[in-house]
Amino acid sequence: MYLITVCGNLLIILAVSSDSLLHTPMYFFLCNLSFVDICFTSTTIPKMLWNIQTQSKVITYEGCITQIYFLIHFGVLDIFLLTVMAYDWFVAICHPLHYTVIMNHRLCGLMILGSWLSAVSLFYCTVLGVYLSSAATHSSHSSATASVMYTVVTPMLNPFLYSLRNKDIKKALKSFFVKETTILSQH
C-alpha cells in the first residue's frame, strides 16, 4: 500500500510537471496534494514497516514527538490543500469568465504558502495538546485501525480519486511514457 501511495502520487507530480497544458491552478494544487500525501505517509509508514520487520515497537521520546509533529503537520496541510482546491473549484464553477483573473499565479502561490507555516501554527497552538491528552482515552485497537485508515488508505486513494481518473492526467502520462520509450529505444 505504501508503494502504491508513493508511486501513484509521483505519477501525478510527473504528469503535471511534464505537460505544460497541465500548468493550471487545479493541477498545481493536485501536484501539491500529491507531494503532501507522500510526505504524510512517509512520516509513519517506514517506521511501522521497520517495526514489523524487526518485531520491535521501540521508539525514542524524541522520535515520537518528531513523528507526531510531522504527522499532524502534513495531515493539517492535507486539509488546507483540500480547502484551497474547493475554493478553486468554486471559482471555476461560479465565476468561469473571471477564473483566470481571480486564480492567478500570485494568489495560487499565496494560498499554498498560507496552507503551509497555518498548518505549523495550528500544530503548536492546539493539536499537540489535544492529541496527547486524548490518546489515553482511546482503546489501542480502535486507535490503530483509525491510524492505518487515515495514514495509509486515504493517501493511497487520493491519486485515484483526484487525478488518475482524469483524462488530462492520463493523456499526459501516456505522452510522457511514449516519449521516454522513444528516447530509450534510440539509445
- What is residue 170's predicted lDDT score, i.e. its pLDDT? 81
Across 104-108, 117-121, 159-163, 172-176, the highest mean pLDDT is recorded for: 104-108
Task: Quote the number of domains for the chain.
Answer: 1
Please determine, for residue 158, whether its predicted confidence score (pLDDT) is greater than 80: no
According to the model, what pLDDT value does residue 178 have? Answer: 83
Q: What pLDDT, on a 0 to 100 scale, did the predictor assign at position 91?
A: 94
Q: Which residue segment(s) compose the domain that 32 sits in?
A: 2-186
Nearest-angstrom CA–CA distance, 13 and 136: 38
